[in-house]
Amino acid sequence: MTVYTKAGDNGDTTLRGGVKASKSEEIFKFLGDLDELNAQIGMFIVYLKSWQEKVDSAMYQAKLIDFHMRFLEVIQNVLFDIGSEVAASRTVDYEKKNYINMVYRIERAIDAMEKQLQPLSNFILPGGSVGAAYSHICRTITRRCEREYFSLDTSGNNKTIGVFLNRLSDYFFILARFLNKQSGVKDVKWKSVV
């Protein structure tokens, strides 16, 4: 079977469950943003793998990198679960999944990283190290996905998806700071220039 079907050439497509829809509908903006986030996380993982290859595998830092690479792969799978659920949300009998256990896992990862970071006393700019920059890009795309999710016109939205996306953006923020610290790079402090 080939990847192209030509069924969507006129701007329409089929959601899960056989529901026909125009590609201009809001649901596809959300699903596209979710796909973009997943692709960016994939790029982030590739970067982390290349960084991991440069450090001694017995070192604590290599183990931390490995943990976050594996965790990001889990998150990629959860994003597919969310996309699948939202794509089926117009059918009568779609199953709502509970993402709260993933929220707890994210919170534990955040807590572990925050223990090693100085508390913030001012705003920081995205950047610092390359890893932190990747994490900030993922954070901003996650925020967009969160906004898009809550703007969808679907009564009975799965609230745990919104909670998951909110906490995921927090994770990427703290991960950026954590990667800066692991790289020996200071967070870039915001300084008003006006």
List, for residues 101-135, the tens digit of each pLDDT value: 999 999 999 999 999 999 988 899 999 999 999 99
72 lies in some domain: yes
pTM here?
A: 0.89
pLDDT digit string, tens, across residues 146-177:
999 988 865 567 889 999 999 999 999 999 99
Residue 43: C-alpha distances to residues 22, 76, 148, 168 (Å): 30, 12, 22, 17
**Buried b or exposed e, range 64-83, using 16+ CB within 10 angstroms:** bbeebbebbeebeebbeebb
pLDDT level of residue 2 (50, 70, 90 thresholds): confident
Show the tokens assigned to 179: 């990667």
11 lies in some domain: no
**In sequence order, which residues have a C-beta less than 8 Å from that of residue 117 and are 6 or more positions away?**
174, 177, 178, 181
Strands (E), 2-128: 12-14, 20-22, 124-125
9 lies in some domain: no
Q: What is the pLDDT of residue 146?
A: 95
5 lies in some domain: no
Show the tokens assigned to 79: 């994003």
177 lies in some domain: yes
CA dihedral 97, 98, 104, 110 (to 10 degrees): 50
3 lies in some domain: no
Q: Which CATH number is 134's domain given?
A: 1.20.1200.10
Number of domains in the chain: 1
Q: What is the pLDDT of residue 4?
A: 72
81 lies in some domain: yes
Query: 74 lies in which domain range?
Result: 24-184
Distance CA 106, CA 85 (A): 20
Radius of gyration of the chain (CA): 19
Q: What is the pLDDT of residue 57?
A: 62
191 lies in some domain: no
pLDDT digit string, tens, across residues 45-100:
999 998 887 776 656 777 888 899 999 999 999 999 999 888 887 665 667 789 99
Q: What is the pLDDT of residue 82?
A: 94
Among the listed residues 132, 145, 128, 173, the one whose alpha carbon sits nearest the alpha carbon of residue 39: 145
